[in-house]
């Protein structure tokens, strides 16, 4: 593991805590950028877990504030719990590039990757580990989440919940009928690194969650624990609250489309399934064009949908909305 820095841009800070055996160990990998004001909240929530076997891998994505100093201040507390604590630092890229420098350090049986500005409820890890231990047929599990504002006051849910009985979640998540909230999911690392044997996910400037989740959800059923074991904080500047210009939003859509194509390849989607992915892309293009009143782009998306098999009546309903 000594060459894990891979480039002079990245370094692994001195290790703290003990290297635990992988059985029952939960690896928590989190990228952070300019998180001095909130990363402590996440680290406190990790340290407050009732599950006794964890390791924390924090990847600083070139922060320009005091994030590293805050991270360093937690070394003794992780050591007191006997937990391995890694801090990886480098130049700023994006969350998916950053998490790739944490994945080679994972030694646990289970993997979680909460956002740096959110928090785990005290029993979040234990409830999910216990479920997977008691139900070995499942390769992953997720919980529910609660949303709060910067003051900790409850706010309405941001993502669709979908049916909590649904366990086949690939299309549910891709097409927006169920949530992608990263801190809710727990995966078995053996299966995850079977998908990514090089411990490297595709890098795109649209986050890491589709890459982490969708190839896994295509292969494995994922039940839901109907408890709110993760807290998402919504505040100005948070991961879920950043305002985009029209140009930035269009570029984000294009990046998601390229990512979806790569994921389709990773999953080995059949031609019929690839057409469904194409319809997903065209529906998103139509929605974006409608939002910005781009009539030619709306028409082009409708033509594409017709060619992909969407019926004329569906197109007419779409245009009337």
Query: The sheet that has 11-12: what strands, in order across it?
Result: 11-12, 84-89, 54-60, 26-32, 110-112, 185-188, 140-149, 224-234, 119-120
Q: What is the mean pLDDT of residues 196-209?
A: 96
Q: What tokens appear for 308 in the block? A: 């992909």
Where residue 13 falls among pLDDT bands split at 50, 70, 90? low
Taken in order of first residue, the domains within the chain and their CATH numbers are 11-234 (3.90.550.10), 246-320 (no CATH)
47-82 pLDDT per residue, tens: 999 999 999 999 999 999 999 999 999 999 999 999
Looking at the predicted structure, is the pLDDT value of residue 153 above 60?
yes
Looking at the predicted structure, is the pLDDT value of residue 7 above 50?
no
Dist. CA 33–CA 68, nearest whole Å: 10
90-123 pLDDT per residue, tens: 889 999 999 999 999 999 999 999 999 999 999 9
Q: What is the mean pLDDT of residues 268-275?
A: 97
Where residue 4 falls among pLDDT bands split at 50, 70, 90? very low
Dist. CA 114–CA 32, nearest whole Å: 10
* pTM, 2 dp: 0.89
Q: What tokens appear for 66 in the block? A: 């005091």
Determine the pLDDT at residue 243.
Answer: 76
Strand, helix or coil for residue 20: coil
Q: How many residues does the chain have?
A: 321
């Amino acid at each position: 593991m000594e060459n894990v820095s891979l480039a002079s841009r990245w370094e692994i800070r001195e290790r703290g805590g003990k290297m635990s055996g992988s059985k029952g160990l939960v690896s928590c990998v989190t990228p952070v950028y300019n998180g001095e004001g909130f990363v402590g909240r996440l680290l406190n929530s990790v340290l407050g877990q009732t599950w006794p076997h964890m390791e924390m891998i924090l990847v600083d994505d070139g922060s320009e504030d005091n994030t590293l100093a805050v991270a360093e201040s937690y070394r003794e507390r992780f050591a007191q719990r006997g937990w391995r604590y890694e801090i990886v630092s480098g130049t700023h890229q994006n969350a998916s590039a950053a998490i790739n420098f944490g994945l080679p350090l994972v030694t646990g049986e289970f993997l979680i990757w909460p956002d740096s500005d959110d928090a785990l409820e005290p029993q979040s890890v234990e409830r999910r580990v216990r479920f997977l231990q008691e139900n070995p047929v499942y390769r992953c599990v997720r919980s529910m989440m609660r949303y709060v504002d910067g003051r900790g006051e409850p706010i309405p849910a941001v993502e669709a919940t979908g049916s909590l009985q649904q366990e086949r979640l690939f299309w549910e998540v891709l097409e927006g009928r169920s949530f992608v909230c990263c801190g809710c999911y727990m995966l078995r690392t053996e299966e995850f690194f079977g998908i990514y044997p090089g411990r490297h996910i595709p890098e795109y400037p649209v986050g890491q969650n589709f890459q982490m989740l969708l190839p896994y959800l295509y292969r494995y059923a994922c039940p839901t624990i109907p408890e709110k074991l993760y807290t998402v904080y919504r505040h100005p500047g948070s991961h879920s609250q950043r305002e985009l210009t029209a140009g930035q939003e269009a570029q984000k859509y294009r990046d998601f489309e390229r990512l979806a194509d790569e994921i389709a390849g990773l999953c080995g989607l059949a031609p019929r399934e690839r057409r469904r992915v194409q319809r997903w892309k065209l529906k998103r293009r139509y929605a974006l064009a409608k939002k910005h009143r781009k009539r030619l782009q709306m028409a082009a998306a409708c033509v594409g949908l017709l060619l992909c098999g969407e019926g004329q009546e569906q197109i007419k309903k779409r245009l009337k909305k």
